[in-house]
Amino acid sequence: MISKKMTKALNGQLNKEYHSAYIYLGLSAWASEKGYNGCASWFMVQYQEEVAHGMKLFNYLDEQGASIELKDIKAFNFAGTTLLEAFEEAFAHEQKMTGWLNELSDLAMKEKDHATYNMLQWYVMEQVEEEALFSDIIDKMKLIGDNGNGLYNLDKELGQRTFVDPTTQA
């Protein structure tokens, strides 16, 4: 059984995961509107991953017999004008998520909640992958610059991504 403090913190993260999904859904819509169909598809896969991340926390709380508290999802409207800005905004968000997950992990250690700490390590490692993924895409975009051919090819490459539920992988 997890403490009330840990339950509250995990519920906070659960809602952040769903807000993340909303961000990627919004970025998908923005990319589609701008004609970046491959990136729209890429962001849609990211949306699906965030929903899966949320469900992993949801199921953990449920298995622990903890109360689940779903909050309103804050609106997201991308104010940028370039694809690079969209990915930079997403990367900055992932960096915030990393910080929050590290704080949660610290709390689990402080609470001597080994099961929760263990579960959270999956998220910590997932964030390492997420940040590397976004960093790589941003580096490619900076290399390409305003080259239409390069953007076309990158958009096409990113559109090849398919959803594989990361929470079910060994």
Per-residue pLDDT at 17 exceeds 80: yes
Domain assignment present for 169:
no
Indicate the pLDDT class of residue 45, thresholds 50, 70 and 90: very high
Domain assignment present for 168:
no
CATH number at residue 16: 1.20.1260.10
Total domains in the chain come to: 1
pLDDT tens digits for range 19-39: 999 999 999 999 999 999 999
Domain assignment present for 136:
yes
pLDDT tens digits for range 76-127: 989 999 999 999 999 999 999 999 999 999 999 999 999 999 999 999 999 9
Domain assignment present for 170:
no
Domain assignment present for 130:
yes
Pair 71, 15: CB distance under 8 Å: yes
